[in-house]
Amino acid sequence: MPHETRQRPVPEPVPDALGAPRPARRLDRRAVYWWTTQNVLVVAPVLAALAALAPLPDAPSWLWPVFAVLCPLGVGYALLTPWYRYRVHRWEAGDAAVCAVSGWFVREWRVVPFTRIQTLDTKRGPLMQLFGLSAVTVTTASAAGPVTIAGLDDTLATEMVRDLTERVRALREDGT
């Protein structure tokens, strides 16, 4: 099922004081629906189990209050957090580095210079395939671990990995 998305013009990356680009590109909007589906698949069974157990005669008396508290929290989490993630998460593949910003309360800004890239991976789980999305993982020898940009259009992710592979290969430097 092909998805047509209107792409907004990508703003030019603005370098910071060290010359690394500030991430300006958003993830694909379909990532919101992917995250919402993931959240619903976790929250709905928990709420359904509580709703099924609460009316039983041997059910503890605290089950209804727990359900009453968890129901709005679970629904709010499932429906609102994907939009917040979409608003916060950004990425950029500049001239010399890949950058990504993510996080809930604490924002993490990761910069991976091309000379440090060891592997590039693309991942598509069943739900991601349903929404036409992919995740690109940029791995280095850093103790901080890989940088993963999840929620990219599948075609864009494939082009990005191909482009980054060519650019890293052209450097002819060993980043170790």
Q: What is the pLDDT of residues 160-172, one digit of tens each?
A: 999 999 998 888 6
pLDDT at 96: 87
pLDDT at 169: 87
Is residue 173 predicted with pLDDT exceeding 70?
A: no
In a domain, 16, yes or no: no
Residues 6+ apart with CB under 8 A from 143: none
Is residue 93 predicted with pLDDT exceeding 80?
A: yes
Q: Do 132 and 155 share a structural domain? A: yes
pLDDT at 12: 53
Are 98 and 140 in contact by the 8 Å Cβ rule? The answer is no
- Which residue type, as a one-letter code, is found at position 90? R
- Angle between helix 63-88 and 30-53 (nearest 10): 180
Q: Do 94 and 151 share a structural domain? A: yes
Average pLDDT, integer, range 52-65: 90
Quick: pLDDT tens for 124-145.
Answer: 999 999 999 999 999 988 878 8
Q: How many domains does the chain have?
A: 2
Q: Do 97 and 69 share a structural domain? A: no
Residue 166 belongs to domain with CATH number? 2.30.29.30
**What range does the domain containing 76 cover?**
33-83
Q: Do 110 and 62 share a structural domain? A: no
Q: Do 98 and 68 share a structural domain? A: no
Q: Do 114 and 140 share a structural domain? A: yes
Q: Do 126 and 55 share a structural domain? A: no
pLDDT at 74: 96
Are 109 and 99 in contact by the 8 Å Cβ rule? The answer is yes
Q: Do 70 and 105 share a structural domain? A: no
pLDDT at 142: 81
